[in-house]
Amino acid sequence: MNQELFKQALTKFFAGLIAVGLLLFLPAWTFRYPQGWLLIIILFVPMFIAGLIMIRNNPELLRKRLNAKEEEPEQRTVILFSGIMFLAAFISAALSFRFKFLMLPWAVSVVGAVLFLSAYALYAEVLRENTFLSRTIEVQEDQKVIDTGLYGIVRHPMYMATVLLFLSMPLVLGSVLSFVIMLFYIPIIVKRIQNEEEVLAEGLAGYAEYKDKVKYRMIPFIW
């Protein structure tokens, strides 16, 4: 096991766990926020397990997933707006719980958790199919076009999974206001996809032909 990579992954894991905990429980002003605990469990337990699997079976993929330093100026703007959206969505959910404002029934949180875990499974399948996936937009050495499995249906199954993940989060938290805020992720991810396809078409051999073969970017028969 790569000890340095393991320490880096563990540091980012606990930093994320602490950050989400603060964003949820501090504005709620209580640890008695069951929807918040539910989200933390379904978000971080699978993440921890996936990290252990990757560090054992594909440490290079884990290294790519940990690298969040974006080189594309346009994508740095996308990341900034995404960060603001997440802050607003989590804080508004916690405040909604605290002041009992536009809260959804517990049954919606359970349905949201099922949707979230289903999207997590879809995300895991995308990682299995495409070992070139990184968190930044780039063309890697020896990268090739993946056009089988989910990539034979849509060009960006990873983003399809992340949209499902992010839109199910406010449902888990039971907040209408948080869900409305998370809807802003759709135009954000559309902008990211458009820029990513420009980079790939310019630098990745065969990508232009792949775009002609697979017509839909993220949603089959729609877009």
pTM of the model: 0.86
Q: What is the mean pLDDT of the chain?
A: 86
Q: Averaging pLDDT over each range in 86-95, 184-193, 204-213, which range is the top one?
A: 86-95
Q: Average of pLDDT values for 17-38?
A: 96
Per the model's pLDDT, the better-predicted residue between 55 and 181 turns out to be 181
Confidence of residue 44 (pLDDT cuts 50, 70, 90): very high
CATH class of domain segment(s) 3-213: mainly alpha
- Look up residue 2 and give its DSSP letter: -
Residues 184, 85: contact at Cβ < 8 Å?
yes
Q: Which of 62-76, 107-121, 160-174, 194-208 has the lowest mean pLDDT?
A: 62-76
**Given this model, what pLDDT does residue 173 score?**
97
Query: Of residues 149 and 184, which shows the higher confidence score?
Result: 184
Q: Count CB neighbours of 138 within 10 A.
A: 19
pLDDT at 111 exceeding the cut of 60: yes
Q: How large is the average pLDDT for residues 108-133?
A: 88
Q: Please state the rounded mean pLDDT for residues 177-200.
A: 89
Q: Residue 52's pLDDT is what?
A: 84
pLDDT of residue 169: 96
What does the buried/exposed string (b/e) look like for 10-29 if buried means 16 or more CB atoms within 10 Å of the residue's CB? eeeeeeeeeebeebbbebbe
> What single string gives the DSSP state of each residue in 69-137?
----HHHHHHHHHHHHHHHHHHHHHHHHHHHT-SBPPHHHHHHHHHHHHHHHHHHHHHHHH-TT--SS-
pLDDT at 146 exceeding the cut of 90: no
**Residue, of 156 and 97, whose pLDDT is higher:** 97
